[in-house]
Amino acid sequence: MPLGENARSQGTHRVRATAKADLPFIDERLRLAVPVHHDPKLRTVVHDGARRRPDDESGRTLGYPNGDGTSGPGTTIFIDEAQGLNSEAQYVLLTALSEGIVRVPGFVASGHRYAMRLAPFTMILATTHEYLLQEALRDRMRIHCRFDYYSVEDLVEVVRQRAVALRWQYESDEVLQMIARRAKAMPRQALHRNLQTCWEVAVSHDRNIITLVDAQEAFHHMEIDELGLDETDRRYLSILARGGPAPLGTLSAKLGLPPLTVQGVIEPYLIREDLITKGKSSTRILTDKGRGHIETTAWLIR
């Protein structure tokens, strides 16, 4: 993820995707606003910090922690799923970073655009699709941090913290390990699917503690095996086991799923776990590990 600074800021910042400037307003999608007044001589919109009331929340948000117009730390703006910003919004961000201003339209009849000066701010962009960001915007980010998938040990601690926070008791660490192993190295699946379902099964049996039996029953209902594969994943492997190497189009047709879904949702984890590999002409090939797994879980395949 990228980190950058605008022309008026100094120093570096350790964050996932960052830039420096107090960005009070970009567009409605960022849900940020600031009271402004127009300087008719400069035809510029400037911060109305001196006119803020002491109880003005926007003052604190935009780098005036006391809300009284005195300068404070710059704003940090975090934009998650940044690839969802269209080209126009990305250009606004780029202008803010490179020139330290945001141009906003004036009255429709006049057609004038006003430049709003920005105090230093830090911007963090988080995205799983970096290629969808404009190259110029990516280049403005001064620090790029790319993260690896969670280990089972890390996920065990993530699940433990959530269970403690929710006051959900569990029988032993073996329960947490089972939840973590079957999450495909993703915290969302470990927490929102696995842990939640295990707790619901425990509650259905009038227990206030998740036992190993509850966890096993939960995964049996969800048809999730010890590698975290679900019914669709195993069908994918079984197609290759029965018919040999196959191209994406064939697998897509037999699974009844769009090619992009197969390629972007199902295959990445199977490749990371060395269950499949790609051969010539991008044909999908079942590995020895994949064949061994599908043989041991054949009873789960419909």
Give tens-digit pLDDT for 41-93: 333 333 333 333 333 333 333 344 444 444 345 688 899 999 999 998 898 88
Q: Which two tokens stand for residue 238?
A: 């079984």
pTM over 0.85: no
Question: What confidence tier does 110 reach under pLDDT thresholds 50, 70, 90?
Answer: low
Helix axes 231-243, 248-255, angle to 10 degrees: 130
Q: Which two tokens stand for residue 274?
A: 């060395």
Predicted pLDDT at 138: 92
Domain boundaries, the chain: 28-140, 152-222, 231-300
Residue appearing with tokens 């009849």: 109
Please tell me the distance from the alpha carbon of residue 254 to that of residue 42, in angstroms, as a whole number: 65
Q: Count CB neighbours of 243 within 10 A.
A: 12
138-151 pLDDT per residue, tens:
999 989 998 888 99
Smallest Cα–Cα separation from 98: which of 1, 19, 215, 188?
A: 19
Q: State how far Cα 34 lies from the chain centre.
A: 27
Q: Are strands 276-278 and 284-286 parallel, antiparallel or unpaired?
A: antiparallel
Listed in sequence order, the residues at least 6 apart from 160 whose beta carbon sits closer than 8 Å to its beta carbon are: 176
More confident residue, 297 or 274: 274
CATH of range 231-300; options 2.40.40.20, 1.20.120.350, 3.40.190.10, 1.10.10.10: 1.10.10.10
Question: What confidence tier does 101 reach under pLDDT thresholds 50, 70, 90?
Answer: confident
Q: Which two tokens stand for residue 79?
A: 């934009």
Q: What are phi and psi of 57, to 5 degrees?
A: -65, -35
Reply yes or no on domain 152-222 having CATH 3.40.1280.10: no
